[in-house]
Structure 1
Amino acid sequence: MDYTGGSAEAEHLCVLVHGLWGNPNHMVSIAKSLRSQYPADKLYLLLAKRNSGSFTYDGIERGGERVCSEIEEELRLIKARGGNITKLSIVGYSLGGLVARYAVGLLYAKGILDRLECMNFTTFATPHLGVRTPLRGWHNHIWNVLGARTLSASGQQLFTIDKFRNTGQPLLAVLADPNSIFMSGLRKFRRHTLYSNIVNDRSAVYYTTCISKTDPYTNLDETSVAYLPGYEDVILDPNTPVRPRPKPSRQASFASVSAAGVTWLRRIPFLLTVAVLVPVGILFFLVNSFIQNFRSSQRIRLHEKGLAGVSIGDYRGFPLWINEIRTEMEQAYEALNNAQDQAYLANETDEDDDKPGSEGDENGADGDCDTMDEASRKLLAHERRMSVPAQPTLALAPYQFRMVQSLDSLGWRKYPVWIHQDRHSHAAMIVRWEKKTFAEGKVVLRHWLNEEFIVY
């Protein structure tokens, strides 16, 4: 693969980290795009490979340790060949963005980032706030609880039901703590960029991939969007992405309803196919999840004993605080995850606020307000006051609101993406494989290369 690696003259190393169920081939389009613009003597490319396939079940911290180990080994190899890397960029896709954030913390703690100029940290469709669906009411949390247990350690961390080491907090909350090694490492990068799908991302929805408390794209029929010049119909203008759409006339409304009816009729064969195949896929997913959870627990035991090729002693001694082709499993998971609907914090003027138990629901996965500390109760009360009907605040957990505040302090350059031609926008965004309907993803990559990625 001539688009990977680089020559001894290259001073800039760019690391690409794939996502859940993934492998280095998922990052090929990104790698080829980079290589088409920057030759081997300008940019050295490393496609992380030790978390391939079911190894992504093993937890974000173990994935981060593996990636950190790969980066260190590559730097030593380049130096042994007479090269000298002085600049570092990291690109994470989906879960890979979280794994990359963990690896950055380890690189920072080991002093490696002090020897490098940190250039770009970019994520594509990464669930920075986890994949817990913002819901209210205990009956709505079945998927948030059960879904987490289908993906071993990574699932518990993505759904934020874990308690990371001795912190008493979810790993993702620790990753976003302002005083952690992970945030300190991220601050060293000159540019932080993220791309987030506004629709049809059934693996990681907009609010988490864009680090947002609101979702202005829940009803696009009532919204007009503004695109970036030169990237029309794909990338929205991050400064003024949406505005209310004027109400149509009665004649236009009738025409819209008629067109919608025709469209619905055309989708009947597709819906019937889904009705038959999705249950089969879900059954396969659940059976395979049981098998992969068992295998993952075995790998985790080996990893923790230092018998899996990574010396964990090199990565566990630091204090955390500082003054494959799309598989049936993925399709089934997305079908289950996409069945959940987001809920919002009730505004103070909402009549439901006067009903018993309405306030407790707002804490989502954490339980009712009786179990919250005073700071969390005040935070939720503040977020409820700030919620407005035009763009209501999602019913996030208190720690997720704190994550938003902390991560936003990095000054992310956020780009909403609207993939129209393929319903699998999670894969289309990075052109995970060559497919005609993934062409809009090439627009995303072109924008990133032309407008965001800095080499010098």
Structure 2
Amino acid sequence: MEVEEGSKIPRIVEENGHRGSDLTKKKKKKKKKYWMGCLRAESDESGNVDLSVDFPGERTEPTHLVVMVNGLIGSAQNWRFAAKQMLKKYPQDLIVHCSRRNHSTQTFDGVDVMGQRLAEEVRMVIKRHPSLQKISFVGHSLGGLIARYAVACLYEQESPQNSEEPKERIGGLEPVCFITSATPHLGSRGHKQVPLFSGSRTLEKLATRMSWCLGKTGKHLFLADGDDGKPPLLLRMVSDRRNLKFISALRCFKRRIAYANISFDHLVGWSTSSIRRRSELPKLQRGPVNEKYPHIVNVEAPGTSSSNHEEVKSVTNSNESKNFDMEEEMIRELTKMKWERVDVSFRGTVQRFLAHNTIQASVHYHHYYHI
């Protein structure tokens, strides 16, 4: 991740999830201040937390905003450890904002609703920090899809000057990195995209029918939201629309990185999280490819993915054919832009039993971040 030098005061900011008008109706709660090494934390009774790092010398305003987005039934607290590690590695000129707008059962409200909430939250953060110039996103699981919708809401083109081409911006800021980990980019419907079902077509069909248990979000994830005559939302999110430029927004980031568990992730399959066809999943060598990050078993540079679009498939009915066609279209459109892929394995460690959450580094285990 690119971070310009100059600032000495990185900060972590967490939004409280309420509109300003609502806050004026409530009594201000007393803030508590405490110290954790060089990190200063302030919290109130609602659990809202602001962290900052104090360095000796003159305070300067940061210019790079990193937005971290939680997944299903998650919260901003899931990012506390990872955010601190990011600030340690990139201590200059950085604000890390752990989103609070979509948490707990609010994550059942649908990718579109949550994406709009996140976009509004980001606008508020940017407004509070006029010195910001750059922006990056880090999303875990469902959070990656929410971030994809939000950046489409925030996408804009600056008016060109002289003969220059119009500059693409996200919330008025220069887009830098878009990072996802264990995100179901292709959805969770069929084709072994949810390893928990062990490839059982009966269980996959049952899960699709029961997707309403997760509210509107469940329908979006299982591509079961086409009741209004429109294509499923995830399928619409791989092309530019009149009001939402999904692909243009994603393409304007300098780097796009997809982290994926190759095994032991019982909720999100390797193919959907790495945006590959199953025939393109690489054969991995034994052992880590990076001594510093032992759980990383494969790193694929942008543009090095297989170009083979042919895949042997067994289609027994029209519904399965439709599922495959939707997945193929999503892969085809998303891979028109370059992605860096990082494949992760926790095989042989106790972390493997919680691989889906471990890849987020919500608690301390080892070095995970490879940016």
Say whether the fold is shared (TM-score over 0.5).
Answer: yes
- Please give the per-residue CA displacement for 1:92-147, whole angstroms capped at 9, x wherever unaligned: 01100000000000001597527321100000111100111216997454333234
- Contact 1:160–1:171 at 8 Å: present in 2 too? yes
1:174 counterpart = 2:236: yes
Aligned residues: 289
Aligned to 1:444: 368
46, 54, 61: which one aligns with 2:112: 61
Aligned to 1:17: 69
If each structure's helix is expressed as a fraction of its own residues, which one has the higher value? 1
Cα distance in 2 between the residues matched to 1:121 and 1:151: 26
Structure 1's 226 and 138: CA in aligned 2 closer, same or farther, altered over 3 A? closer
Structure 1's 12 and 227: CA in aligned 2 closer, same or farther, altered over 3 A? same
* Identity over aligned pairs, percent: 26
- Please give the per-residue CA displacement for 1:4-62, whole angstroms capped at 9, x wherever unaligned: 136751011110000000000111122011111233x5101111101110100000011
Cα distance in 2 between the residues matched to 1:190 and 1:108: 14
248, 260, 264: which one aligns with 1:200: 264
Question: Which runs of no fewer than 5 residues in structure 1 stay unpaired?
Answer: 241-343, 348-357, 373-395, 449-456
Please give the root-mean-square deviation of Cα atoms over the aligned residues, in Å: 3.0
- Please give the per-residue CA displacement for 1:224-279, whole angstroms capped at 9, x wherever unaligned: 43632324641123359xxxxxxxxxxxxxxxxxxxxxxxxxxxxxxxxxxxxxxx
Q: Which has the larger radius of gyration?
A: 1
- Contact 1:57–1:155 at 8 Å: present in 2 too? yes
1:37 counterpart = 2:98: no
Query: Looking at both structures, which has the greater relative contact order when contacts are Cα pairs under 8 Å and sequence separation is at least 6?
Result: 1
Question: Which runs of no fewer than 5 residues in structure 2 stay unpaired?
Answer: 1-9, 14-51, 53-58, 159-168, 193-198, 302-309
1:397 counterpart = 2:324: yes
Task: Give the deviation of 1:216 after TM superposition.
Answer: 7.3
- Please give the per-residue CA displacement for 1:346-398, whole angstroms capped at 9, x wherever unaligned: 56xxxxxxxxxx6443x5xxx266xx6xxxxxxxxxxxxxxxxxxxxxxx520
AA partner of residue 363 (structure 2): W
Would you identify which runs of 4 or more consecutive aligned residues in structure 1 move more than 3 Å?
5-8, 109-112, 135-141, 215-218, 223-227, 344-347, 358-361
If each structure's strand is expressed as a fraction of its own residues, which one has the higher value? 2
| TM-score, with length taken from structure 1 | 0.58
Structure 1's 71 and 130: CA in aligned 2 closer, same or farther, altered over 3 A? same
- Contact 2:285–2:297 at 8 Å: present in 1 too? no
AA partner of residue 204 (structure 1): V
1:51 counterpart = 2:102: yes
Cα distance in 1 between the residues matched to 2:76 and 2:171: 28
Structure 1's 143 and 230: CA in aligned 2 closer, same or farther, altered over 3 A? same
Aligned to 1:161: 224
1:242-321 → structure 2 map (5 Å cutoff): none
Aligned to 1:105: 152
- Contact 1:164–1:171 at 8 Å: present in 2 too? no
Cα distance in 2 between the residues matched to 1:368 and 1:132: 10
Cα distance in 1 between the residues matched to 2:12 and 2:326: 39
